[in-house]
Amino acid sequence: DVKVTQSSRYLVKRTGEKVFLECVQDMDHENMFWYRQDPGLGLRLIYFSYDVKMKEKGDIPEGYSVSREKKERFSLILESASTNQTSMYLCASSLQARRYEQYFGPGTRLTVT
């Protein structure tokens, strides 16, 4: 079974803090994704990565950056957290050969106060 893990289920941070959200997959997947989910807005793609050190912007990259130094790990960074980044963050991964079959982690519910 594919396993995608995220570093925290719940996180509370203060405005202006630098926040790191970590995602690890154990199935040697090439592709990794970060989404945020908000009521009424559905799932929106923030960033994705096709390979180590490769990244591409999704639909809402502003205020975020990412890092992929190892194939199994994809980090989402909030450089200076703001209250409008309070959200559910979901990480996913997929194998390039079946690239549209994404597997999701349990999610991190981030609150910025």
Partner 1 sequence: GIQVEQSPPDLILQEGANSTLRCNFSDSVNNLQWFHQNPWGQLINLFYIPSGTKQNGRLSATTVATERYSLLYISSSQTTDSGVYFCAVPEETSGSRLTFGEGTQLTVNP
107 binds partner 1 (CB under 8 A): yes
Binding mask 75-94 for partner 1 (x = CB under 8 A): -------------x-x-x-x
In the complex, least distance from residue 103 CB atom to partner 1, rounded to whole angstroms = 6
Q: How far apart are CA 70 and CA 73, in angstroms?
A: 6
60 binds partner 1 (CB under 8 A): no
Q: How many residues bind partner 1 (CB under 8 A)?
A: 27
Spell out the SS3 assignment of the chain. CCCEEECCCEEEECCCCCEEEEEEECCCCCEEEEEEEECCCEEEEEEEECCCCCCEECCCCCCEEEEEEECCEEEEEECCCCHHHCEEEEEEEECHHHCCCCEECCCEEEEEC
Q: Enter the tokens of residue 45.
A: 């793609």
Segment near partner 1 (CB under 8 A), from 14-22, 66-74, 75-83, 95-103?
95-103
In the complex, least distance from residue 65 CB atom to partner 1, rounded to whole angstroms = 19
Contacts to partner 1 by CB under 8 A: 9, 31, 33, 37, 42-43, 45, 48, 50, 56, 58, 88, 90, 92, 94, 96, 98-107, 109
